[in-house]
Amino acid sequence: VEREIAILKLIEHPHVLKLHDVYENKKYLYLVLEHVSGGELFDYLVKKGRLTPKEARKFFRQIISALDFCHSHSICHRDLKPENLLLDEKNNIRIADFGMASLQVGDSLLETSCGSPHYACPEVIRGEKYDGRKADVWSCGVILFALLVGALPFDDDNLRQLLEKVKRGVFHMPHFIPPDCQNLLRGMIEVDATKRLTLEQIQKHLWYIGGKNEPEPEQPIPRKVQIRSLPSLEDIDPDVLDSMHSLGCFRDRNKLMQDLISEE
């Protein structure tokens, strides 16, 4: 929970559920989160069935915009699925539940297998080290498929058979999906992580930027990072230090403190 709080404090994006405040007593920890009244995208999809390409593209663009912002801050969600995508009163997306999220710095790889089997990528299913950004892209591909088809690309009542289907990555592409969108889906739901599309490639794809009489794709929100070294160890805010330490990538507390006062 501490890591989820620390991550939510780092993110401020119109399509990420906002954390307003945190309260704690001897027994409980209270998170004051943004209220969104539209419920889960999952329930919306169950109610409506498959969506039109226009509506699916609107949701997909908002998800990708928020995810791109998270990745630019080295945050991988790792549990993207319609149940964790909420809708506000105007049917705009809010990504929620960062309980499985992790910081991934530079070229480092993640090891923890997490997420729902239906939305997890093959390398996570195989228990290999993986790039969390690539894992998130796979999940977004599965979500886009679900929005357009009203069903999942990989499904089976038997968990073992489901996992085998995911590892093979073979799925039926319905004929009613537009050809350019089929190309996008195959690029995202790609077993070989090195060949899987990046968020940058997705945002340049013809289907992503297409659509007549539709709003333009949202522009990336610039990172606002001000860096300054602290005069001494006494100037380090203990709450900030605890939050950074709980993120998991700053395991050596003493080294972290020295880095905060370093001029480099």
220 DSSP 8-state letter: P
Return the amino acid letter for 118: H
Distance between CA atoms of 85 and 94, rounded to whole angstroms? 6
Q: What angle do CA 205, 207, 213 make, to 5 degrees?
A: 125
CB burial class (10 A; 0-12, 13-18, 19+) of residue 69?
buried
130 DSSP 8-state letter: B
Q: Which of 21, 43, 68, 79 is catalytic?
A: 79
219 DSSP 8-state letter: P
Distance between CA atoms of 1 and 133, rounded to whole angstroms? 21
CA distances from 51 to 42, 46, 48, 261 (A): 12, 10, 7, 52
Q: What sign results for the dihedral spanned by CA atoms 53, 59, 60, 62?
A: positive
Residues 6+ apart with CB under 8 A from 178: 53, 207
Residues 6+ apart with CB under 8 A from 17: 8, 33, 34, 36, 86, 94, 95, 96
Active site residue 79: yes
**Helix H or strand E segment including 98:** none
Q: Known catalytic residues?
A: 79
